Structure 1
Amino acid sequence: MPALIPFAAREPISEGRRYALALLACVAALAVALPLREVLDLANTVMLFLLAVVLVASRLGRGPAVIASLGSVALFDFFFVPPRFSFEVSHGQYLVTFAVMLAVSLIVGQLTAGLRSQARDAERREQATRALYDLAKVLAGAMSPAQVELAVRAFMATHLGARLWLLLPAPDDTLTPVTLAAGPLAALDLQMARMAVDGGLAVESGATDAPGFRRHFLPLSGSTRGRSVLVASMPDSASGDLPLLEALASLVATAVERLYFVDAAQSAQLEAESERLRSAILSALSHDVRTPLTALYGLADSLVLTRPPLPADAQETAEAIRDQALRMNGMVGNLLDMARLQAGRVSLRKEWQPLEEVVGASLQLLGRAMDGHPVQVSGLGELPLVHFDAVLLERVFCNLFENAAKYAPPDTPILLAAQAGSEFVDVQVTSGGPGFPADSLSRVFDLFERGAVEAPVVGMGVGLAICRSIIEAHGGTIRAFNPPGGGGSVAFTLPLGTPPAIEPEPPEPEGGP
């Protein structure tokens, strides 16, 4: 980190000492002028005292310059104007001389002091700009919020004699200090910081742990992360440095936002790489496992259908092998579908068709998996034609019915309700049982999410993820919830659209052909 130059390099001179030096300057001018009183006329002697006033104004300020002006007039009158060594004036013209001398001294002193003040302000601004530039270079290379706070804290301690805390939002939106190197923060400080964030304006508090200090709470505004706060405990004597503190807050806000974007970019890149790897693994496993599974299912089915039939024990074993191979083949099919959907390689083949036919095909495909769970349908036959991909929507109903049958108690029905709205068709599948865990309702459509960790039901947690991908590809929405009557429900919508008009068939002529 570059060395930072303090703004105030000179030690300040006390007020009494400044006035004493002003009087000493007048005495020094007198010491120079006395030996030359026989050589110089009064006009040139006045110039020596004016020079002393200018020097005092340029070095000590306005107040000492006024004292120097008054002292110069008094010494000039006492030592040089006849009658000497008294304050009497022998001629009226000297009164004009005194008045002009005093006026010129005051004007020159004030102008010189003003130029001195402006020069010091310019020097201070230049030092502040250079220091902020050096700090900006340090913040540009910071790799964490802790490094940002360390650099800014060093800047504050060096230039403003202040302490600093950087508060960033936690995942629950509470403001948390990056470090407590500057000391702990009280609950009141955190409340003041929250007020600054909510109001979007700087807040000042006089309640500090040291007398003569105030705490300033500055919200760090940014395009995405505007919930951070800079807390500075500054002495009252540094109240003129508030614009510098605001500039510092802008630098910190830029640094914090840069770190946010870096983290977001890294997270997005890591997530994209993970998704690509996961899709590649799913696709490879699905293709490589499906071929032997198909062969295993065919062999087991051949054993079941052998004539004459196998002994009872062998027949039961062959049926178990066939059923498990079929279930495993369904899981692999789900994995393959999920890999295709995530890779975006599935094109929708939409047609205008009745939803009732797809539901019937799905139940027929599931076969014995729905034993003991009759499906009760309401409103399905009253729906208009819907524009969808029948193969993909059949997969949705298969997954929903299969999930409902897995988790529903034995011999309980599964309810399918459908109705047409103004813009969408609403479909809801409801089953009995415990329903979805309340803490995982927002995650049930995530890949490999199975609700309860210790769930005894066989599955991989990809069925609902496939349903969401297919429904969203159709322009609809899907959600899961637990109805008040118990059990679990999954509801989805499909765009209704405007189905094509169906022309009625012409009536057959009477009497036949």
Structure 2
Amino acid sequence: MDSPRSAAAISRRTGWRASPTPAGLAGATLFVVAAALLCLLLDDRLPSASLPLVFLAPVLVSAIRYGFWAGLLAAVLAFVGYNFLFVEPRHTLSVARPEDALALGIFLLVAAVTGVLAGRMREEADAARNRADVLEILSDFAADLSGAMRIDEIESLAMRHLSRAAGGEAVMLRPDGGRLQVVAEANLSPADLIAADRAFRRGQPQAATAAGWSGSRFSFLPLRGWDKIVAVYGVIFSETGSAEREQAVEAMMRQTELAIERVAFARDAEDARAVAEQERVRSALLSSISHDLRTPLSTILGSVTSLREFGDKMPSEARSDLLLAIEEETERLSRFVANLLAMTRLEAGLDIRREWVDAVDVAAAAVKRARKSFIGATILLDAGTAAAPIYADAALLEQVLFNLIDNAVKYSPADRPVSVTVSAGRETVEFAVLDEGCGIPMKDIDQIFEKFFRGDRVQFAGGGLGLAICRGVVTALGGKILAESPVIDDHGTRVRVILPAGAEPST
């Protein structure tokens, strides 16, 4: 966060060895004149030995306020004023008595030493404040950099804080096709552009031309990233505190380079994680497909082989069992292939064929199909008698409900039913599939709709695609799907599908 106080404080610092300013010399003169007037007013009330002490006051004030040269001027003026106004013969610069000459010499020495000491104290105080302000700017810059996650954000922060640290204007140029292009609007002269290009091609800082000479006003510093120059920054340093400013700017450039490397490393790590995740998904998919295809195919192949070789010798019940196994595994294989095709459609961009359908009819079709596929399972439908029109793809919605029923049947006890309900409101139609199985752990409730996710309680073979397909289809239809568990005495799961009703959704 910018600190206006710090930037202003740095810009007004002056060392005691710096050239005197007109304001400082005028202030020192006014302080001495004020001290002389005060002494004239109190001449008959103050002892003569106190007058030099009064004249020392403007020397101290001038040195502390304006620096060494102002203090030295105040010492000379105080010496002349005291001699002219209060040393006999008065109103002349001559000295009548030797002891007065000695006193004047000692006064001048004391005034000069006082001015030097005060100036040195000012220099130390200014240097300490200057360092504190620079450290504050560096701290602000580091704090802002820590939250930057993009390279363009880092470059923008660097330009803003470099301007603060240098106490002047800052510009940034970025290479484009072998030439430097100014990123933001800036008033750069041809000499500035030549100096910036020299810094870019040599990879070394280029200092600004000295005052009074023709050349670049900016000091240009190259910024490295990925073993090459990615930008060139130009700054105009303020005349005050230049050493501290240059150190601060150099430190900021190093911090910027490290921040860019950090972002680059983070991006590379993210890419590596994405590649690893793709490999994991591919491996899981191949493993799942291999298992889910091999198992029913092995059953079908074994049953067909048995019937072909021993069919005439087998009892009719055994032949019926083998035929039933072929039928069940074929349906299972068909469902698995349907899921793969549905997932392919989702990832390739689902082509939804919407039309007005009755939600009750869709639920009834899904339950009928499930009862035919899961003989022996109890599947109840509670849909009421009122129509519930929705604008959706009937085939895809039926597949969603069938997948949910399939999942519920797997985890329900054999003697407990799976319930399917349909309820219509003014703005939504809700489907709910309830089972009385073991339930879903809280830590898994938000992940069950991810592809290939299989929780700790999964005891059945499968590719982990069914619920992922459900979420993809429901999202494409403009609805949402939610899971709740437990729902019945610390067990059971309810999956809700909520779709808009009553009006054609916007596309």
Structure with larger RCO (C-alpha < 8 A, sep 6+): 2
TM-score (norm 1): 0.49
